[in-house]
Amino acid sequence: MFSRKFLSCQFCMKCFYHNHKTFVENYQEEILLVIRTFRNTDPPFLLKIWEKCAAVNSQHFRPLSMALLEQHILGRPYFDRNGLFLAFDENENAVGFAHAAFGPNATHTDIDMSVGVICMMMILPEYENDSTVANTLLQACEGYLTKCGAKQIYGGAVRPAAPFYMGLYGGSEPIGVFESDQEITKLYTNSGYQAVHNTLLFRVSLESYRPPINVKTIMWRRKLSLTCTDLPQPKHWWEACMMCNFTWLELHGVLPNDSQPVGIITMRIINSEEMPDFKPRQSPSLSAPISSYSRSVVAGLMDVWVRDDCRKQGLATYLLGEMLREIQRKECVDILEIQAEEDNQPFIALLKTMQWNIAERGTIFLKEIT
């Protein structure tokens, strides 16, 4: 049984999140763990950590290439290198990284530095059972966020506070901390975080799927005009940031003699050709891990809107069915993924009407900074 002792940082707290060194002592050896912020020469380290973690946890990660790292993380207009931390052992081997950032403000016109988000925490499998790396990375993230003015820190990202890793982790978008990730769950729980939000991930293979047809959907088909656009106008700056590097489709349903839509479905297509070593393949079984179908075309349902006076009349079911036909025809989509807040029972009821099943469950943790 080891006895561990943490010695004080060699640097003042003002510089904590720039270059923090922690010594861990036990009876047999002394380990030097170095935590520092991102440098331009670090992408190979990030890719290596990602690849090793994905190899043992392929249910949650899609392949990451240098191009995708640049497009979806380093190239974002709000990326701050001081929020991306890497951990190195005494042999200068990268053993993990954590990424802290901020969610949008109330009007979605800028980031809100009072709301911090720990978007990602990845640690090599051989270090998962040793809490030292995870705890030190978490402390570095918290130090950065609080120094920038964060009053709340979320453990795990979920829309809208999901500034990075869209389509790379957790399906078509992040869903927080996976229920099966016991080590990260324990990390947040032991660090003063409270579970405040649960998200369900529905995953559907479209290879043989047929949308439900009933009297209501037939009625809407007879009287509704449909228009689909692949370049919808972003509603705000934050959505524009989220839309870049993806294909978006928006389906509008309009009644005769009415210029305004009564229902809108929005979907985002993950461009599989951006994935490394892309090879088109037939849609696999949903029991297979993400890595086995990550080069298939995947769509994420982003929004369902129905006008108040048309709700509970089968309109959403009809529009979803028509959108699925459209994405299969235009984009050859194999897999559809949908997120739903666990307490959003009307939306979950709609998804069950479509005969879609829950594939994963995620949790968001929150820590109030006083």
Q: Report residue 135: phi and psi, to 5°.
A: -60, -40
Domain coverage including residue 339: 203-359
Contact 151, 103 (CB under 8 A): no
Q: Which pLDDT score, from 0 to 100, does residue 13 have?
A: 36
Structure tokens at 13: 């707290």
Distance CA 174, CA 153 (A): 16
Whether residue 211 sits in one domain with residue 134? no
Q: Hey, which bits of the chain come out as E strands? A: 5-6, 19-25, 30-37, 84-88, 94-104, 111-123, 152-155, 177-178, 194-205, 225-229, 247-254, 263-270, 298-306, 335-341, 358-368
Residue 214 maps to a domain: yes
161: which DSSP letter?
B
Residue with token string 């949650």: 60
* In a shared domain, residues 228 and 340: yes
Q: Do 170 and 215 have their domain in common?
A: no
2: number of CA atoms within 13 Å, CB side?
A: 13
CATH number of the structural domain spanning residue 111: 3.40.630.30
Tokens coding 349: 């009821």
Do 168 and 227 share a domain, yes or no? no
Whether residue 267 sits in one domain with residue 173: no
The two three-digit tokens of residue 174, written as one number: 């992040």
The verdict on residue 317 lying in a domain is yes
Contact, 172 vs 337, CB < 8 A? yes
Q: Which residues pair with 229 in a beta bridge?
A: 250
Q: What is the DSSP string of 70-84?
A: IIIIITSTT--GGGE
Task: Write down which residue in 200, 234, 259 finishes a domain.
Answer: 200
51 lies in some domain = yes
Is the domain of 68 the same as that of 188?
A: yes
Q: Same domain, yes or no, for 189 and 251? A: no
Q: What is the pLDDT of residue 271?
A: 61
Asked if 125 contacts 53 with a C-beta cutoff of 8 angstroms, the reply is yes
Number of domain units in the chain: 2
Q: What is the dihedral of CA 70, 45, 182, 362, to 10 degrees?
A: 0
The tens-digit pLDDT sequence of the chain (370 residues) is 333 333 334 333 344 444 544 444 433 344 588 999 999 999 999 999 999 998 887 778 888 899 999 999 999 999 999 999 999 998 899 999 999 999 999 999 999 999 999 999 999 998 887 789 999 999 999 999 999 999 999 999 999 999 999 888 877 889 999 998 899 999 999 999 999 999 999 999 998 899 999 999 999 999 999 999 987 888 999 999 988 878 899 999 999 988 899 999 999 988 645 444 333 334 444 444 444 444 578 899 999 999 999 999 999 999 999 999 999 888 888 889 999 999 999 999 999 999 998 999 999 999 999 8
Closest of 167, 166, 175, 206 to residue 335, by C-alpha: 206
Q: Is residue 335 part of a domain?
A: yes
Q: Which of 200, 229, 254 is the last residue of a domain?
A: 200
Which residue, 200, 228, 263, sits at the end of a domain?
Answer: 200
pLDDT attached to residue 300: 92
Contact 337, 357 (CB under 8 A): no
Residue-by-residue DSSP string for 172-200: SS-BSEETT-HHHHHHHHHTT-EEEEEEE
Helix, coil or strand: residue 290: helix
Identify whether 1 is part of a domain. Answer: no
> Are 165 and 218 contained in the same domain?
no
pTM of the entire predicted model: 0.84
Domain co-membership, 82 together with 114:
yes
Asked, for residue 37, whether it belongs to a domain, the answer is no
Q: Please, are residues 142 and 370 in contact by the beta-carbon 8 Å criterion?
A: no
CA distance 368 to 192: 9
Q: How far apart are CA 185 and CA 169, in angstroms?
A: 16
Instruction: Compute the residue count for the chain.
Output: 370
- Same structural domain, 353 and 225: yes
Same domain, 133 and 246: no
Using omega within 30 degrees of 0 as the cis cutoff, is the peptide bond preceding 160 cis?
yes
Do 210 and 333 fall within a single domain? Answer: yes
